[in-house]
Structure 1
Amino acid sequence: MSNSAAAAVLTTPDLPEALRAVRSLLAVADSAHGEVDFEAVIRSPDALARVLDVLPGLDWWALSGDGHGSSKAGDDPAGCLPIRVFDWGRPLDSAEPFITALRPEDSAAVRWDLDAWPAVPEAGLESISQKYAYLTLTVNSRDLYQDEPSQDHTVHVHCRDRNGDQTARVHWLADRVGGRFSGRVEPAPL
């Protein structure tokens, strides 16, 4: 297992603004063979129904500490709220329907697994391969793991410090979306 560094480049209370930033970054990246991964804490019955429409068959388990409630046990997720959900390797076009299914009390991290961050010769940046080319949007959470619930949304770009270009690349990507590198970086096991 390897790690990347997830750098926050835009935090906003406006979900459509965050989605526009994600779309702009996807337009910069090589994402021809990309996939999207989901991790969320679902608290509302309405969001649960909508998420299950978007991602049928996803894995989940109850957050309660009593040891019951999971997709593996065949339980009804509506009777186990709040639940944590995971889903991996979905097509890129499933991301926005999932995100818009969430409610303010639900939090998520949606990660786009990209083919590469491109070379930017005018900025002195080499291409970054698939192994370190990710983009994450946290919804109603400041962090990747839904430990810091909030009413805003944060766009994180992932890259690896290769030839000292990480900070330059993060700033370059932030500039593409009208954001700025906040200095906040989280380790992201991949």
Structure 2
Amino acid sequence: MSNSRAAAVLTTPDLTEALRAIRTLLDIADLHHAEVDFEAVIHSPEVLARIHHVLPDLEWWASAGKEHGSSEAGDDPAACLPVRVNDWCNPLDVAEPFIAALGPSPAAIRWDLNAWPEVPEAGLEYISQKYAYLTLALNSRDIYQDEPSNDHTVYVHVPSEDHTAHIEWLADRVGGRYTGRLEISPL
């Protein structure tokens, strides 16, 4: 198992701005075999129903622990709210419908990229799929949904703190800036 470093490059209360930044970064990334993963905490039956419409085979468990309900046990998620949900290896076109279904729920949407391509004119090396990710912390200040907020943070992932130039270059592309805030992201 490896760890990437998730670097916050844009925090905004405007979801449209956050999605614009994500689209810009996806346009830069190598998307060959890319996929998207979801993690969220759902508190309301309405949001749960919308999420199930987008991802009908969603894996979930009660926030209080699996012993209080889970998809694995065949329990009714609406009876176990709040629930944590995970769904992995989705096609990229599922991301925005998932985001639209979430409403105010905290979530992390992670795009697993093939690479951050090299940018020779900026002196940036190729970053392989092992470390090339992009995360949107929705209604949360962190990638783990531990700091709920009314804004959204875009993170670019790199192998280590030594890739500051790459982080700053990507931040510049979206009108953000790297503040030095890094989170270790187990992959």
The answer to whether 1:52 aligns with 2:49 is no
Distance of 2:64 and 2:110 partners within structure 1:
25
Relative to structure 1, is the Cα distance of residues 66 and 128 closer, same or farther in structure 2, using a 3 angstrom cutoff? closer
Normalising to structure 1: TM-score of the pair?
0.96
Q: Residue 178 of structure 2 aligns with which residue?
A: 181
Please, what TM-score do these two structures have when normalized by structure 2? 0.97
Please state how far the C-alpha of 1:167 moved relative to its aligned partner.
Answer: 0.2
**Correspondences of 1:78-157 after superposition (within 5 Å):** 78-104=78-104, 106-157=105-156
- For 1:37 and 1:120, locate their aligned partners in 2 and report how far apart those are by CA, in whole Å: 27
- Indicate conservation of the 8 Å contact 1:8/1:184, yes or no: yes
1-side partners of 2:136 and 2:36: how far apart? 11
User: Cα deviations across residues 29-83 of structure 1 (Å, max 9, x unaligned)?
Assistant: 0012100001110112111111001111111001125822100110111111100
Q: Number of matched residues?
A: 187
Find the aligned partners of 2:79 and 2:131 in 1 and give their Cα distance: 38
What secondary structure is seen at the aligned counterpart in 2 of 1:5? Answer: strand
Distance in 2 between residues matched to 1:161 and 1:78, nearest whole Å = 40
Across the aligned residues of Structure 1 and Structure 2, the Cα RMSD in angstroms comes to: 1.2
Instruction: Specify the code of the residue in structure 2 equivalent to 1:32.
Output: H
Asked whether the 8 Å contact 1:29–1:118 carries over to 2, the reply is: yes
C-alpha displacement of 1:145 = 0.6
* Superposed structure 1 runs of 4+ greater than 2 Å apart: 64-67
The answer (yes or no) to whether the contact 1:44–1:103 under 8 Å persists in 2 is no
Q: Secondary structure, in 3 states, of the residue corresponding to 1:70?
A: coil
Alpha-carbon contact 1:35-1:89 (below 8 Å) kept? yes
Q: Is the 8 A contact 1:170 1:181 kept in 2?
A: yes
Amino acid at match of 1:139: L
CA contact (8 A) 1:107 1:140 kept: yes
Unmatched 5+ residue regions in structure 2? none
Residue 25 of structure 1 is matched in structure 2 by 25
Distance of 1:14 and 1:82 partners within structure 2: 25
Residue in structure 2 matched with residue 168 of structure 1 by the alignment: 165
1:158 aligns with 2:157: yes
Structure 1 pair 115–142 and aligned structure 2 pair: CA distance change class (3 A): same
2-structure distance, mates of 1:42, 1:161: 32
SS of equivalent residue, structure 1 residue 49? helix
Q: 1:57 to 1:126 in 2, by over 3 A?
A: same
Q: Find the aligned partners of 1:52 and 1:125 in 2 and give their Cα distance.
A: 41
